[in-house]
Structure 1
Amino acid sequence: MTEVDTERLTRVIVDFNTIFIRLPSVQRFNFSTLSVLHTLSRSGPLRLTDLLATEQLKQPALTSLVAKLEQDGLVRRRPDPADGRAILLSLTPAGQRVVRSRHTNRVAKLTQLVDQLTDAERAVLAGSIDVLARLTELAEDA
C-alpha cells in the first residue's frame, strides 16, 4: 500500500483553499453568503433544514441570511410540492449569474496560475483531478 502523508496533504489543501477562496473576484460577498449560493447551485432547491446540514451556521443566522438573499433578489422561496407546509429555497436568475460569474472568474485566475507550472507539474495536477473528485465523493458520503 502506498503511503500518503495525510498531514502534509491536509496542510496543502487548507493552504490552497485559503488562497483560492480569496482569489479576487468582481463581486464581493462574505463566505457564508457564497457558501449558501454555491450549495443551492449544486444541490438544487433545498429546505432550510437541508441547508442547515451543509452550512456552518445556526438556524437564526441562516434564516436571517436567507431573508437577506431573498431581499437582494438572489434566492427565492416557494412551497415544497411534496409538503405544502415546507418551503424550498432556490437561486433566482440573478443568484445563478453570481455563481456563474464567480466560477468563470476563478477559472481564469486558476488558469493563470496553472500556466506557470512546468509540463511535468501540469501532468501531475491533471492526474490528480479525478483523485480529488473521488475524495470529495467519499467525504460527501461519510
Structure 2
Amino acid sequence: MQEVWMDRDVLSTPGHLISLAARSFARLSEMRLKPLGFGIGYLPALMALRDGRATSQRDLARIVRIEQPSMAQMMVRMERDGLIRRDPDPADGRSSRIALTQTAIARLPEACDALFQGNSEALQGFSDDEAEHFIAMLNRVIANLDGLGAGAAGVREPR
C-alpha cells in the first residue's frame, strides 16, 4: 500500500480528505445546532446520558473519547447552557451523577433531526448500499487508527 501513496498529491490522501470532510460536517452541524443551544461536541455526551450509557464524567470522557480535563470543561459549558445537572452520587460523596435537564430532553430530537438531515444532504447521490459501505469503511479506518494509537501509546521514544 505504501507505493500507492508515493506518487500522489498529499491533498488527495485519505487523512486529508477525511479531515476536510470532518471540518465541513462540523461547520454545518454547528450552524444548525447553535440556534438550538447545542455545540457539536455536546451531542455524543448528551446522547450517552439520554441512553443511560453514562452517568459520570469518567464514563462520558471514555465514551466521547476525550481526556478528563476536556470533558470537565465541556460539562461546565453544558451546565451553564442548562443542558445537564449534577447530583451527588449516593454511592460516592466525592463524585456526581450527571443527568440531562428537561431543556436538553426537549431539544435533543430536533438536534438529532438537524444532524441526520445534514448527513443525508452530504450523502446526496449515494445509494443506500453505498452509504452503508462508506460508513463501514470509515469504521474500519477508525478501528485501524485506534489500533495504531494503542500500539504507539505503549512504545517509548528513544532517549
**TM-score w.r.t. length of structure 2:** 0.59
Change (3 A) 1:55 1:128: same
Greater shift in the superposed pair: 22-31 or 92-101: 22-31
- Unpaired stretches in structure 1, ≥5 consecutive residues: none
| 8 Å Cα contact 2:33/2:40 also seen in 1 | no
**Corresponding residue number in structure 2 for 1:128:** 134
- Residues in 1 aligned to 2:119 and 2:55: alpha-carbon distance in whole angstroms: 29
Task: Report the AA paired with residue 95 of structure 1.
Answer: A
Structure 1 vs Structure 2: percent identity of aligned residues? 24
Query: Does residue 16 in structure 1 map to residue 26 in structure 2?
Result: no
**TM-score w.r.t. length of structure 1:** 0.64
Task: Report the AA paired with residue 45 of structure 1.
Answer: T
- Unpaired stretches in structure 2, ≥5 consecutive residues: 151-159
What are the Cα deviations for residues 10-46 of structure 1, in whole angstroms up to 9, with x where unaligned? 1111101111111131534898x44244224224222
| 8 Å Cα contact 1:76/1:90 also seen in 2 | yes
| 8 Å Cα contact 1:40/1:91 also seen in 2 | yes
| 8 Å Cα contact 2:86/2:98 also seen in 1 | yes
Out of 23, 41, 56, which is 1:46 matched to? 56
- The size of the alignment, in residue pairs, is 133
Task: Report the AA paired with residue 44 of structure 1.
Answer: A
Out of 76, 79, 83, which is 1:74 matched to? 83
| Secondary structure of 2:97's aligned partner | strand
Change (3 A) 1:109 1:34: closer
Higher-RCO chain (CA-CA 8 Å, sequence separation at least 6): 1
Q: Say which one has the larger Rg.
A: 2
Alignment of 1:1-142 (within 5 A): 8-23=13-28, 24-25=31-32, 27-28=34-35, 33-42=39-48, 43-47=53-57, 54-55=65-66, 58=69, 62=73, 66-115=75-124, 117=125, 119=127, 123-136=129-142, 139=146, 142=150
| 8 Å Cα contact 1:41/1:96 also seen in 2 | no
Q: CA deviation at 1:58?
A: 4.3
